[in-house]
């Protein structure tokens, strides 16, 4: 018994002795800018000049196992400053709420989801003070503000408002012949939906196709010659600029008046779902709203779906994201391409290359998949995806 106690004492002593040393361990986060030569200001202090790396405590990079393990309790904001360019800020940390096994929130901590950021610096806004062009301004003018404004105006024409009973959602056209993509939560329970287009035209539709797992809903309307948005076939990269179309006015007061942000995380999870997380809340992030890149492609859509970004979840609890991500445009493109033949002059879907297993109408396989993830049980990729439910509103 004494020997056991002695072993426990030695193990605990060694752990405590290494604790202060482990706090000093740091990991790099790299920054590259176009143009280069921007000062990287971290929480108010200039750290380096791009291309360069900053050093952060290792606890910003995950590894949290239980409620009282070490964690980072302060966010990290980086500001990029370069002569002739507009300052750019990015919140490189994401807030997570640690909840215990009873789902009671205990505290908020922060993690850095990406170790590299590639950012583009805009030219300054025209003003009497900087009306005269300087050599440094030329390097920053690669980001064309006029092109972004024109892209957003085009995107506004592709937006729609959807009402089904007391449920409201935004959506957007993905073909010129009236095919609409939106978030299906709440809408699918109604027999029909009323769609209002950007030109004020209102139509009713009952034809729909629903992806129960990812919450995506396709609506078909009898219109043609409409402005539409292209779905991105690639995930954005950390540091990419993204934009929203502003508040719709259907969901009460917006959480933010910001309509542009920077991607801090974008990847496919082990559940074979792809997600995009901007560095801040955005105006117009109602369900069904699109997230656009500089080229006007849809890289994300706001959804009610809980993507289950749990860094760790076990008997002790888990970390839950405080700012929910957007389902990626790549998943939307897959949903459209693999399951529906949409043939227009602008958008042609590919037929499925292989047969797909029939879908469980009660979502049993979907719930089993999430339960395995909840229990932190890993499983092969082929076990992580079920088919799409294709049906009319009923």
Residue carrying the six token digits 């959602």: 169
Is residue 194 within 8 Å of 201, Cβ to Cβ?
no
DSSP-based three-state secondary structure for 118:
strand
Q: What is the mean pLDDT of residues 38-54?
A: 95
Give the pLDDT of residue 166. Answer: 87
> Of 319, 262, 251, 323, nearest to 288 (Cα)?
251
367 confidence band (pLDDT: 50, 70, 90):
low
Report yes or no on 92 lying in a domain.
yes
| Per-residue pLDDT, 147 | 86
Give the model confidence (pLDDT) of 226-285 as tens digits. Answer: 999 999 999 999 999 999 987 654 444 445 567 899 999 999 887 788 999 999 988 877
Q: Give yes or no: residues 299 and 320 share one domain.
A: yes
**153, 140 Cβ separation under 8 angstroms:** no
Among 140, 158, 179, the domain-final residue is: 140
pLDDT of 365: 53
Given a cut of 50, is residue 11 above it in pLDDT? no
Domain with 276 in it: what CATH number? 2.40.10.120
pLDDT band at 392 (very low <50, low <70, confident <90, very high): very low
| Higher per-residue confidence, 69 vs 228 | 228
Q: How many other CB atoms are found less than 10 A from the CB of residue 88? A: 20
Instruction: Based on the fold, state whether residues 222 and 246 are members of the same structural domain.
Output: yes
Residue 303 sits in the same domain as residue 358: yes
Q: What is the pLDDT of residue 29?
A: 97
Query: Which pLDDT score is estimated for 393?
Result: 47
Beta strand extents in 125-278 (DSSP E only): 159-164, 167-173, 179-183, 193-197, 202-205, 208-211, 216-220, 241-243, 260-268, 274-278
pTM of this structure: 0.77
Do 41 and 90 touch, CB atoms closer than 8 A?
Answer: no
Q: In which band, very low, low, confident or very high, does the pLDDT at 351 lie, cut at 50, 70 and 90?
A: very low
Q: What number of CA atoms fall less than 13 Å from residue 274's CA on the CB side?
A: 19
Cα(60)–Cα(22) distance, rounded to whole angstroms? 13
Number of domains in the chain: 2
Q: What is the pLDDT of residue 330?
A: 92
More confident site: 227 or 393: 227
Q: Are residues 210 and 296 in the same domain?
A: yes
C-alpha dihedral sign at 388, 391, 392, 394: negative
* pLDDT at residue 95 is higher than 70: yes
Cis-peptide, bond into residue 361, ω within 30° of zero: no
With respect to residue 18, please indicate whether it lies within any of the assigned structural domains: no
Q: Quick one: CA dihedral 280, 173, 307, 26, positive or negative?
A: negative
Lowest pLDDT segment from 133-137, 321-325, 378-382? 378-382
In this predicted structure, what is the pLDDT of residue 155?
96
The answer to whether position 12 is within a domain reads: no
Q: Is residue 166 part of a domain?
A: yes
Q: CA gyration radius for the chain?
A: 24
Q: Which of 91, 110, 140 is the last residue of a domain?
A: 140
Mean pLDDT of the chain: 77
Residue 11 lies in a domain: no
Please answer whether residues 174 and 347 qualify as being in contact, where contact means their C-beta atoms are separated by less than 8 angstroms: yes
Tell me which of 142 and 228 has the higher pLDDT.
Answer: 228
Does 162 share its domain with 88?
no
**Are residues 164 and 35 part of one domain?**
no
Q: What is the pLDDT of residues 144-185, one digit of tens each?
A: 678 888 999 999 999 999 999 888 899 999 999 999 999 988
Cβ neighbours of residue 208 closer than 8 Å, sequence gap 6 or more: 184, 187, 188, 193, 217, 218, 219, 220, 391, 392, 393
**Segment among 6-10, 21-25, 205-209, 326-330 with least mean pLDDT:** 6-10
**SS3 at position 11:** helix
Task: Tell me which range, 20-29, 52-61, 239-248, is most confidently predicted by mean pLDDT.
Answer: 52-61
- pLDDT at site 271: 75
Q: Write out the H or E segment, with its range, that includes residue 99.
A: strand 94-99
Instruction: Report the range of poorest mean pLDDT among 233-237, 356-360, 373-377.
Output: 356-360
Please give the Cα distance from 351 to 368 (Å, whole number): 28
* Same domain for 356 and 287: yes
Question: Residues 81, 126: one domain?
Answer: yes
Q: What is the pLDDT of residue 145?
A: 74
Residue found under tokens 């493109």: 333
For the cut 80, the answer to whether the pLDDT of residue 19 exceeds it is: no
As beta bridge partners, residue 197 has 160
Query: What is the residue range of 92's domain?
Result: 26-140
- pLDDT tens digit sequence for 284-299: 778 899 999 999 999 9
For residue 187, count other CB atoms closer than 10 A to its CB. Answer: 25
pLDDT of 349 over the 50 cut? no
More confident residue, 364 or 199: 199
Nearest to 228 by CA among 275, 278, 172: 172
pLDDT at position 25: 85
- Does the residue 5 lie in any domain? no
CA distance 194 to 202: 7
Domain co-membership, 108 together with 248: no
Distance CA 123, CA 131 (A): 12
Order of strands across the sheet with 116-120? 52-57, 26-34, 116-120
In this structure, the answer to whether residues 83 and 188 fall within a common structural domain is no
For residues 251 and 122, the model is more confident at 122
Tokens of 276: 């995009």
pLDDT at 206: 78
- For residues 128 and 149, membership in a common domain is answered with no
Continuous segment of H or E residues that includes residue 29: strand 26-34
Residues 95 and 130 grouped into a single domain? yes
Res. 355: pLDDT tops 70: no
Q: Could you give the percent of the chain with pLDDT greater than 70?
A: 68
DSSP, residue by residue, 327-367:
EEHHHHHHHHHHH---B-SS-BPPPPSS--PPP-TT-HHHH
Q: pLDDT: is 39 or 310 the higher one?
A: 39
Task: Answer whether residue 364 is part of any domain.
Answer: yes
The answer as to whether 101 is a domain residue is yes
Average pLDDT over residues 360-389: 45
Residue after which a domain boundary falls, among 125, 140, 155: 140
Q: How confident is the model at residue 186 (pLDDT cuts 50, 70, 90)?
A: confident
């Amino acid at each position: 018994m004494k020997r056991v106690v002695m072993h426990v004492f030695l193990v605990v002593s060694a752990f405590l002795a290494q604790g202060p040393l482990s706090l000093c361990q740091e990991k790099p986060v790299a920054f590259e800018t176009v143009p280069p030569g921007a000062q990287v200001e971290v929480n108010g202090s200039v750290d380096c000049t791009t291309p360069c790396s900053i050093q952060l405590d290792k606890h910003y990079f995950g590894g949290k196992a239980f409620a009282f393990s070490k964690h980072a309790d302060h966010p990290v904001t980086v500001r990029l400053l370069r002569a002739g360019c507009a300052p750019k800020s990015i919140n490189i940390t994401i807030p997570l709420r640690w909840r215990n096994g009873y789902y009671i929130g205990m505290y908020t901590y922060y993690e850095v989801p990406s170790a590299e950021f590639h950012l583009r610096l805009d030219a300054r806004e025209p003003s009497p003070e900087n009306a005269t062009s300087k050599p440094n301004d030329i390097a920053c003018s690669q980001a064309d503000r006029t092109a972004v404004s024109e892209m957003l105006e085009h995107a506004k024409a592709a937006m729609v408002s959807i009402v089904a009973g007391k449920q409201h959602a935004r959506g957007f056209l993905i073909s010129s012949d009236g095919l609409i993509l939106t978030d299906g939560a709440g809408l699918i329970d109604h027999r029909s939906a009323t769609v209002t287009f950007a030109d004020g035209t209102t139509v009713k539709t009952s034809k729909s196709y629903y992806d129960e797992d990812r919450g995506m809903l396709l609506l078909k309307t009898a219109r043609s010659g409409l402005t539409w948005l292209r779905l991105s076939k690639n995930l954005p990269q950390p540091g990419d600029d993204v934009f929203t179309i502003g508040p719709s006015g259907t969901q009460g007061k917006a959480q933010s008046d910001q309509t542009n942000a920077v991607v801090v995380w974008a990847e496919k999870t082990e559940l074979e779902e792809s997600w995009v997380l901007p560095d801040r809340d955005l105006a117009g992030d109602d369900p069904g709203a699109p997230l656009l890149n500089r080229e006007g492609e849809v890289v994300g859509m706001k959804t009610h779906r809980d993507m289950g970004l749990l860094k760790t979840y076990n008997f002790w609890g888990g970390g839950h994201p405080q700012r929910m991500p957007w389902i990626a445009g790549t998943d939307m493109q897959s949903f459209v391409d693999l399951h529906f033949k949409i043939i227009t002059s602008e958008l042609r879907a590919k037929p499925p290359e292989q047969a797909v297993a029939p879908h469980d109408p009660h979502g049993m396989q979907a719930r089993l998949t999430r339960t395995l993830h909840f229990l932190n049980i890993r499983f092969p990729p082929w076990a992580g995806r079920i088919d799409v439910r294709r049906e009319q509103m009923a």
